[in-house]
Amino acid sequence: MTDASVPPDTRTRIVEVAAGLLRDEGPAAVTTRGVAQAAGVQAPAIYRLFGDKDGLLEAVAEHVMSSFVAAKASVVEAAIETDADPVDDLRDGWRSQVAFGLDNPALFTLLSDPGRVAGSPAARRGRAVLEARVHRVAVAGRLRVSEERAVGLVQASGVGVITTLLGTPVDDRDPGLAEAVLEGLLAQILTDAPLADRTGHLSTVVAFRAVAPELDQLTAPERRLLAEWLDRVVDDQR
């Protein structure tokens, strides 16, 4: 919901104030009156801009997720430019995601709501960043499962680890849990060395599938057919 009578910077200020209250004091602090007072506006302005508290929380979720995703995207771009090790980049992405969730429990709960994530442009961009990381691993010949499967495993494992740790009293948390899950995950999706998979050179097929759409020497129908063949080989190993 928008209101042309309210300057855009006012909307941004309200969202940023609400995000800060949510991060520092939890959901109970994000009241219409409290946000309006902290942002220096009248409560009716919030209703005109966001409809209600739920609308404001939706805007906060999208704002925070967009900022976090933009930071992750810049890291991936830098890794591509410097030709950084793709597996190390994937590790770094996992660690930053876990750290963000643990440092921002209220925001993580808000952002991990399946109903909210399903319609979130920022969530789709976040998945695209993860897909780019996994794609680099595949191109390097280090992936033993399909890119789609790897992305799903990373997402599910990350959300599970953060949820488990947040549900455990701080003093009782296993400090090595996140790294242990990461190592188990990587053992499942990675080969020990490029193009050296012992189960039938599956990593070679996955790497070839990753670059198949870029083979301009083939026609578009030929590239689609090649991708279909390679997908069949990968799917047969699931």
Most confident of 24-28, 89-93, 145-149: 89-93
CA distance 145 to 28: 43
CA distance 42 to 58: 20
Quick one: pLDDT at residue 1?
A: 45
Quick one: pLDDT at residue 123?
A: 86
Residue 38, judged by CB atoms within 10 A of its CB (0-12, 13-18, 19+), counts as middle
pLDDT digits (tens, 9 = 90+) for 39-53: 999 988 898 998 888
Contact at 8 Å (CB) between 35 and 15?
Answer: no
pLDDT over 90 at 160, yes or no: yes
CA distance 229 to 139: 18
For residue 199, which amino acid is it?
T
pLDDT digits (tens, 9 = 90+) for 189-217: 998 765 444 445 666 777 777 877 888 88
Take residue 225 and report the two structure tokens written for it: 């057919």
CA distance 133 to 127: 10
Number of other residues whose CB lies within 10 A of the CB of residue 191: 22
